[in-house]
């Protein structure tokens, strides 16, 4: 059941938008700081996957791998990410789906991610991804921390070309 | 009668005067009935760049190589119930693998014998009543017999169902892994596998129950490049130090930030494995065998099975006995490449299908297997490895995909500067073989012997009767 608290909703919607904006700004250090140390960033290949151990995934990252990925994105010798892809996230429909037993929140949103990486391949240099994003948040003092970010792409089951930028 | 409006409109465009046309250019490109000499494209230590970029060569490969080899299709656990099917490809030919009501597994072309539409549009499903074409309702059994044609009376007795079945694809299984072929004359599967059967044994023997099952979750990625490029990359132990150096740099960067008691996660261990010194790979063996197959001995030093060895090993000993379990765990191989259609990693229970789509488009389909009877952690390790080895988001894979596409860019140039740039050298380690037996040749893992071996097979397939 959706949680209807206008003040909380506005605070959470701003948090989700800010998180996406940090990715668009390639401010990866600040982005990583939003996540718990034992967090999970997960892009499954199917909505049927209940837990990351159920099967293979596009992304199934502990924080260490998130850090290595984003460090690599800024490395000019990372051939698969040079030039580094740029993204524009469009965030919409943020909902607080429920409050868990510990006061943590499950938040869903619809997001479109437009990605551009200059590779001299004309139209193929731009791609559009989209789907349902689910964040699990826990209160940390006056801030929120992300314990899990799950991205269910509408084309999750499809065949992907190289993916470098986090959604 | 007045000509129609359409005919009048057409009359405004005069027909070309064929007699006035200069046909010189056409004559030069007229079809030549002599078969192309594909063997001329392969030298002992070089191949011509067109083998990657020429659509006509790709079309010939689909007939001569994929049409004449044993192609990995599916594991029998993917079609466990009567009526279950999966769709796969033999080259660019769609195939349906179905378990029938009596439990037998069959493969047929995914093509209705009427108008040619594909019978199954999706990669898996259940069709216990047969495969019914969505166009006119022709209904085929799992093994391709035509059961029923609606409105058969309209054929006035001329349509004999027996004349319009779909010819079954020849299917053979090795330890539950199903291979299909379009060639009635090919040797039995076990002869095609040769020494490489021991790498499939390596996968199945690791199961403490003797059974493996395929996970329903499958990773697919693709690149805009030729199918051979992935076969020539996977056992290349020199490229990681360059192509994947940024991943090594980033994994090291993160490792440095960890507290002393904080372990490195397995996925970063996998990234670091690409940074081993050259001598490490020079000391490893590569094994190549007839028909283009190969594997690397030694699993490149990455350990993704850290804390379940004991529980897992006990389960394995209970099934196989101590000596056999020790032998099984002692087999230490990295990827096995089964030319031309699949790659195998027994230790991490991962099989990949290399699916050629066009000369410049290839799909890689990654399957994970569960060792029945092993601890859950063993499957999670396989999932972790398979994700790192097959996700398009894997930093290592992303670099490989970039390079495959760059190879297509470089070799697809219309005109080359000189004769040298027409050829791709494959001579690394040409004179370093360590052992030759009738079944295989052993050579350093740094060698391009596996690529030369693939092109020996390529030329034999392509030079044979079409």
Considering the domain architecture, whether residues B295 and B379 belong to the same structural domain is answered as yes
Map residue B411 onto helix, strand or coil: helix
| Residues in chain B closer than 8 A to A78 (CB atoms) | 246-247, 250, 395, 399
Considering the domain architecture, whether residues B156 and B207 belong to the same structural domain is answered as no
Considering the domain architecture, whether residues B129 and B210 belong to the same structural domain is answered as no
Give the 3-state DSSP-derived string for B152-216, with helices as H, strands as E and coil as C. Answer: HHHHCCCCCHHHHCCCEEEEEEECCEEEEECCCCCCCHHHHHHHHHHHHHHHHHCCCCCCEEECC
Nearest Cα neighbor of B442 from B294, B233, B265 is B294
CATH number at residue B109: 2.102.10.10
Q: Are strands A35-44 and A143-153 parallel, antiparallel or unpaired?
A: parallel
Contact residues, B window 384-423, toward A, CB-based 8 Å cutoff: 384, 386-387, 390-393, 395, 397-403, 405-406
In the β-sheet with B168-174, what is the strand arrangement from edge to edge? B71-75, B177-181, B168-174, B105-109, B93-99, B84-90, B124-126
| Residues in chain B closer than 8 A to A49 (CB atoms) | 217
Considering the domain architecture, whether residues B93 and B223 belong to the same structural domain is answered as no
Q: Would you say residue B97 lies in a domain?
A: yes
User: How far is A70 from chain B, CA to nearest CA, in Å?
Assistant: 9
**What per-residue confidence (pLDDT) applies to B305?**
44
What is the pTM assigned to this prediction?
0.91
CATH number at residue B307: 3.90.380.10
**What per-residue confidence (pLDDT) applies to B6?**
53
Considering the domain architecture, whether residues B198 and B172 belong to the same structural domain is answered as no
Size of interface A-B (CB pairs under 8 A): 135
**What per-residue confidence (pLDDT) applies to B413?**
81
Q: Would you say residue B62 lies in a domain?
A: no
Mean pLDDT, residues A110-137: 95
User: How far is A57 from chain B, CA to nearest CA, in Å?
Assistant: 6
Mutate to test the interface with A, among B402, B406, B412 (most CBs of A within 10 A): B402
- Please state the separation of Cα B325 from the chain's center in Å: 30
Q: Which residue has the tokens 């006509």?
A: B56
In whole angstroms, give the CA distance from residue B155 to residue B149.
Answer: 10
Considering the domain architecture, whether residues B249 and B288 belong to the same structural domain is answered as yes
Considering the domain architecture, whether residues B392 and B455 belong to the same structural domain is answered as yes
Q: Are strands B285-289 and B219-223 parallel, antiparallel or unpaired?
A: unpaired
Q: Is the dihedral of CA B260, B262, B263, B267 positive or negative?
A: negative
Q: List chain B residues with pLDDT less than 50.
A: 16, 18-30, 299-307, 465-466
Residues in chain A: 167
| Residues in chain A closer than 8 A to B219 (CB atoms) | 45, 56-58
Q: In terms of residue numbers, what domain contains B270?
A: 194-414+421-463
Is residue A7 pLDDT above 80, yes or no?
yes
Considering the domain architecture, whether residues B431 and B405 belong to the same structural domain is answered as yes
* Residue in B271, B392, B393 closest to A68 by CB: B271
Considering the domain architecture, whether residues B262 and B170 belong to the same structural domain is answered as no
Report yes or no: B265 at the A interface, CB cutoff 8 Å.
yes
Final residue before a domain boundary, out of B178, B207, B226: B178
Q: Would you say residue B2 lies in a domain?
A: no
Mean pLDDT, residues A118-135: 94
Q: Would you say residue B343 lies in a domain?
A: yes
Domain ranges, ordered by start, for chain A: 6-153
Q: Would you say residue B80 lies in a domain?
A: yes
Rounded to whole angstroms, the maximal C-alpha distance in chain B is: 97
**What per-residue confidence (pLDDT) applies to B32?**
54
Q: Which CATH architecture has domain A6-153?
A: Roll (3.10)
Q: How many domains does chain B have?
A: 2
Q: B156 forms bridges with which residues in the sheet?
A: none
Is residue A144 pLDDT above 90, yes or no?
yes
- Is residue B146 within 8 Å of residue B40, measured between CB atoms? no
Considering the domain architecture, whether residues B158 and B232 belong to the same structural domain is answered as no
**What per-residue confidence (pLDDT) applies to B437?**
92
Q: What is the DSSP letter of B3?
A: P
Instruction: Say if the ipTM goes beyond 0.85.
Output: yes
Mutate to test the interface with A, among B217, B239, B351, B357 (most CBs of A within 10 A): B217
Final residue before a domain boundary, out of B123, B150, B178: B178
Considering the domain architecture, whether residues B219 and B148 belong to the same structural domain is answered as no
Nearest Cα neighbor of B87 from B61, B118, B62, B63 is B118
Q: Which residue has the tokens 């391949």?
A: A121
Q: Which residue has the tokens 């191949």?
A: B47
Final residue before a domain boundary, out of B116, B148, B178: B178
Q: Would you say residue B119 lies in a domain?
A: yes
């Amino acid at each position: 059941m959706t949680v209807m608290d206008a003040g909380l909703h506005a605070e959470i919607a701003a948090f989700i938008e800010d998180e996406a904006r940090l990715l668009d700004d390639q401010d990866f250090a600040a982005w990583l700081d939003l996540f718990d140390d034992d967090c999970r960033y997960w892009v499954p290949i199917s909505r049927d996957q209940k837990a990351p151990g159920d099967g293979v995934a596009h992304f199934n990252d502990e924080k260490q791998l998130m850090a290595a990925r984003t460090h690599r994105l800024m490395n000019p010798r990372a051939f698969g990410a040079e030039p580094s892809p740029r993204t524009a996230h469009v965030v919409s429909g943020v909902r607080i789906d429920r409050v868990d037993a510990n006061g943590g929140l499950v938040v869903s949103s619809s997001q479109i991610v437009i990605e551009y990486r200059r590779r001299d391949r004309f139209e193929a240099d731009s791609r559009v991804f989209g789907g349902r994003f689910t964040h699990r948040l826990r209160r940390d003092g006056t801030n929120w921390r992300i314990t899990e970010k799950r991205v269910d792409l509408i084309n999750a089951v499809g065949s992907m070309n190289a993916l470098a930028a986090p959604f | 009668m007045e000509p129609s409006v359409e005919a009048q409109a057409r009359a405004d465009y005069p027909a070309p005067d064929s007699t006035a046309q200069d046909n010189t250019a056409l004559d030069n490109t007229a079809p030549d009935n002599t078969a192309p000499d594909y063997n001329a494209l392969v030298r002992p230590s070089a191949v011509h760049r067109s083998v990657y970029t020429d659509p006509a060569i790709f079309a010939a490969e689909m007939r001569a190589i994929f049409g004449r080899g044993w192609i990995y299709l599916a594991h029998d656990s993917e079609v466990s119930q009567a009526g279950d099917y999966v769709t796969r490809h033999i080259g660019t030919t769609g195939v349906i693998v179905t378990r029938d009501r009596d439990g037998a597994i069959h493969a047929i072309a995914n093509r209705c014998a009427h108008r040619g539409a594909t019978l199954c549009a999706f990669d898996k499903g259940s069709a216990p009543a047969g495969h019914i074409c969505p166009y006119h309702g022709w209904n085929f059994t799992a093994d391709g017999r035509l059961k029923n044609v609606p409105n058969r009376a309209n054929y006035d007795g001329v349509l004999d169902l027996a004349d319009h079945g779909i010819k079954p694809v020849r299917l053979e299984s090795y330890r539950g892994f199903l291979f299909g072929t379009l060639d009635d004359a090919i040797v039995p599967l076990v002869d095609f596998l040769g020494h490489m059967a021991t790498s499939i044994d390596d996968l199945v023997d690791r199961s403490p129950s003797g059974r493996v099952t395929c996970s329903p979750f499958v990773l697919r990625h693709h690149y805009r490049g030729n199918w051979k490029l992935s076969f020539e990359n996977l056992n290349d132990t020199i490229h990681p130090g360059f192509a994947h150096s940024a991943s090594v740099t980033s994994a090291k960067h993160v490792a440095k930030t960890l507290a002393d008691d904080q372990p490195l996660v397995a996925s970063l261990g996998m990234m670091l494995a690409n940074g081993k010194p050259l001598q490490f790979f020079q000391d490893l063996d590569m094994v190549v065998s007839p028909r283009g197959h190969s594997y690397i001995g030694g699993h490149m030093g990455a350990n993704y099975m850290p804390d379940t060895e004991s529980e897992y090993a006990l389960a394995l000993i209970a099934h196989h006995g101590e000596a056999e379990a020790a032998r099984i765990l002692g087999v230490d191989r990295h990827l096995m490449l089964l030319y031309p259609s699949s790659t195998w990693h027994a230790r991490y229970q991962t099989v990949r299908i290399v699916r050629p789509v066009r000369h410049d488009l290839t799909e890689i389909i990654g399957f994970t297997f569960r060792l029945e009877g092993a601890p859950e952690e063993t499957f999670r390790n396989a999932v972790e490895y398979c994700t790192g080895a097959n996700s398009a988001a894997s930093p290592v894979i992303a670099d490989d995909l970039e390079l495959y596409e760059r190879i297509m860019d470089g070799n697809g140039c219309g005109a080359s500067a000189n004769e040298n740039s027409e050829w791709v050298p494959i001579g690394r380690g040409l004179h370093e073989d360590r052992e030759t037996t009738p079944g295989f040749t052993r050579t350093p893992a740094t060698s391009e012997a596996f690529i030369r071996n693939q092109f020996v097979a390529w030329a034999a397939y392509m030079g044979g009767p079409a």
